[in-house]
Amino acid sequence: MKSLTIKGSKRESVGKSATKALRNAGKVPCVVYGGDNTIHFSADETEFHNLIYTPDVFRVVLELANGETIDCALQDIQFHPVTDQILHIDFYQLFDGTPISMTIPVRVSGNAKGVKNGGVLRVINRRLRVRALPKNLPDFIDVDVTEMKIGDVFTVGDVEKEDFEFLQEDKEVICQVRTSRTAIVDEIDEDEDEEGEEGAEGEEGAEETAEGAENKEGATEE
């Protein structure tokens, strides 16, 4: 998993007035859970832009002003409903020997056969919940749709799992190739062409039979 460093400072006061003062100063109040002690800290809002405004998932290395370093992962974030200002962020402390649950993005690769034939690829789940040791968490879940035909469905159970497990059921749909109007019309046209060829063959056979009968009658009269 990719790593991202954030520099912050421990918070001495966690009251409402102190929190409001931090936000007015362009800083974000944060909390780290999961360790022996809950850690309250703050950091400049700009420190979080590469962590939040991206589909990627990062392992966060928190560097505090007192020299302390903490490995953690983003768990929850709160935005202001009107201004979209970051109000608060929760992190969860990571330990190499302890599994953690995280939401990982899905990356679709390949060009489905069904799409080439006029179908439409629908991605149902763009993020999946997985559980693994921090070192085994993937950057993304790769879904290769190359062999998918019209009507095919790709589920969680179809993903090649390595050192992690999904928290969704195997039957959960990730993506599917659905039919479209174009695909239906093409299919009808193909059927009509086949019927036309069969009709032509039937007419040719009838003509040959008629010719044979005429020749036979002529031979009899002679």
Write the pLDDT tens digit of every residue in 127-167.
999 999 999 999 999 999 999 999 999 999 999 887 899 99
Does one domain contain both 6 and 88?
yes
Cβ-Cβ contacts under 8 Å for 131 (sequence gap 6 or more): 99, 100, 101, 102, 164, 165, 166, 167
Does one domain contain both 105 and 86?
no
Q: How confident is the model at residue 12 (pLDDT cuts 50, 70, 90)?
A: confident
Q: Are 167 and 159 a contacting pair, CB within 8 Å?
A: no
Q: How confident is the model at residue 204 (pLDDT cuts 50, 70, 90)?
A: low
Does one domain contain both 73 and 121?
no
Does one domain contain both 43 and 83?
yes
> What are the backbone dihedrals phi and psi of residue 22, each rounded to the nearest 5 degrees, phi first?
-65, -45
Residue 222, in any domain of the structure: no
pLDDT at 13: 83
State the chain's mean pLDDT as an integer.
Answer: 84
Q: Are 167 and 182 a contacting pair, CB within 8 Å?
A: no
**Domain span holding position 36:** 2-94
Higher pLDDT pick, 81 / 191:
81
CATH of the domain at 67: 2.40.240.10
Residue 201, in any domain of the structure: no
Q: Full-prediction pTM beyond 0.85?
A: no
Does one domain contain both 133 and 167?
yes
